[in-house]
């Protein structure tokens, strides 16, 4: 089942913060976050595993609430380079191999 991302799109000025949410109706084992710029391949940002952890590097961080089956991606003090479409990919891992299912994406535009 495809995770639901919100918002669908957001426009920020440089230096502003944003939160992108990803929620699933299924119990999750992991959540993967990717950023894709127009015409390019998705680029891996981070993975969060079951256990309710929080991760981050530079000014991009994420949290995973397994009880709520939700993950949030936090972008602070946004830069022009943050523009792109952000996808979450969720893995249920009920048994054996379970593939990643990606959301429809959140389009982020950072303007000067």
Partner 1 sequence: EAGVAQSPRYKIIEKRQSVAFWCNPISGHATLYWYQQILGQGPKLLIQFQNNGVVDDSQLPKDRFSAERLKGVDSTLKIQPAKLEDSAVYLCASSSTQETQYFGPGTRLLVL
Contact track, partner 1, 23-62, x by CB under 8 A: -------x-x-x-----xxxxx--x---------------
Instruction: Select 19 or 47, whichever has its Cβ closest to partner 1.
Output: 47
97 lines the binding site for partner 1 (CB under 8 A): yes
Which tokens is 16 given?
A: 């502003």
Q: What share of the chain is helix, strand, coil (3-state, %, to 5)?
A: 5, 55, 45
* Contact criterion met (CB below 8 Å) for 5 and 106: yes
105 lines the binding site for partner 1 (CB under 8 A): yes
């Amino acid at each position: 089942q495809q995770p639901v991302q919100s918002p669908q799109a957001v426009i920020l000025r440089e230096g502003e913060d944003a939160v992108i949410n990803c929620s699933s109706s299924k119990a999750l084992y992991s959540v993967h976050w990717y950023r894709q710029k127009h015409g390019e391949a998705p680029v891996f940002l981070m993975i969060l595993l079951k256990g309710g952890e929080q991760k981050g590097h530079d000014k991009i961080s994420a949290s995973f609430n397994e009880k709520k089956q939700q993950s949030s991606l936090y972008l602070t003090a946004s830069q022009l380079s943050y523009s792109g479409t952000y996808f979450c990919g969720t893995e249920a891992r009920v048994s054996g191999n379970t593939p990643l299912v990606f959301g429809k994406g959140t389009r982020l535009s950072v303007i000067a």
